[in-house]
Amino acid sequence: MSLGRLLAVATALLMAIACGGIALGIGVVMDPVLRDLLGTLGLSGLEAVLSDLAEGYAPDPGMVEGAVSLGRAILLLVAVPPVLNAIVGEVLGWRALAWYGGATGLLTALLPWLMRGASGPAGAGEGRGTALLFCAGGVAGLVYWLAAGRFAGRGPATMWAAPPRR
């Protein structure tokens, strides 16, 4: 893989991860159940941290640890699926939109289920969350495909050339 291709893949992955995160955020805000949950949990936690800071106390270590854990989980959900699918697509030279959009969406949606194992469903609204994760992963995969995936497996001389007609 040439240095130019490596730079294109890295840039495309950064764009895909950012767009996937934005899509996930928009989905959470637009879904009434998730929006209410976020409002209840987020505002009470934010209010507790701000009141502690206003009184001159350090924030509760449990709150900081919870925020760091939430950030890691979101990064895992948004970053790992596009990176894995980009690596597989680049190594195998796959250029299909269905691979980048569909497989990234599917892996993003399945990641919480895979991490939880066989413990069963977590709650009643899990289907909505799974659909939201599929859409966010699909957006990330689509952005990657548009930026770099459709050129996977091509040599440096033909990367920007038109695809061969069949």
The reported pTM is 0.74
With respect to residue 166, please indicate whether it lies within any of the assigned structural domains.
no
With respect to residue 59, please indicate whether it lies within any of the assigned structural domains.
yes
Domain that holds residue 133: 3-152
The yes-or-no verdict on residue 59 having pLDDT over 70 is no
With respect to residue 165, please indicate whether it lies within any of the assigned structural domains.
no
With respect to residue 101, please indicate whether it lies within any of the assigned structural domains.
yes
With respect to residue 163, please indicate whether it lies within any of the assigned structural domains.
no
With respect to residue 62, please indicate whether it lies within any of the assigned structural domains.
yes
Q: Which of 41-45, 72-76, 111-115, 144-148 has the lowest mean pLDDT?
A: 41-45
Ramachandran bin of 117, using left for φ above 0, alpha for ψ from -120 to 50, beta for the remaining angles: left
The yes-or-no verdict on residue 76 having pLDDT over 70 is yes
Higher per-residue pLDDT: 94 or 155:
94
With respect to residue 157, please indicate whether it lies within any of the assigned structural domains.
no
Q: What is the rounded average pLDDT of the residues 20-48?
A: 76
- Can you give the pLDDT at residue 157? 47
The yes-or-no verdict on residue 40 having pLDDT over 50 is yes
Among 160, 142, 143, 139, CA closest to 151: 160
Instruction: Quote the number of domains for the chain.
Output: 1
pLDDT tens sequence across 86-141: 899 888 888 888 888 999 999 999 888 887 775 656 665 677 888 889 999 999 99
With respect to residue 93, please indicate whether it lies within any of the assigned structural domains.
yes
Q: What is the rounded average pLDDT of the residues 21-50?
A: 75
DSSP secondary structure of 31-89? SHHHHHHHHHHHHHHHHHHHHHHHTTPPPPHHHHHHHHHHHHHHHHHHHHHHHHHHHHH
- Can you give the pLDDT at residue 162? 59
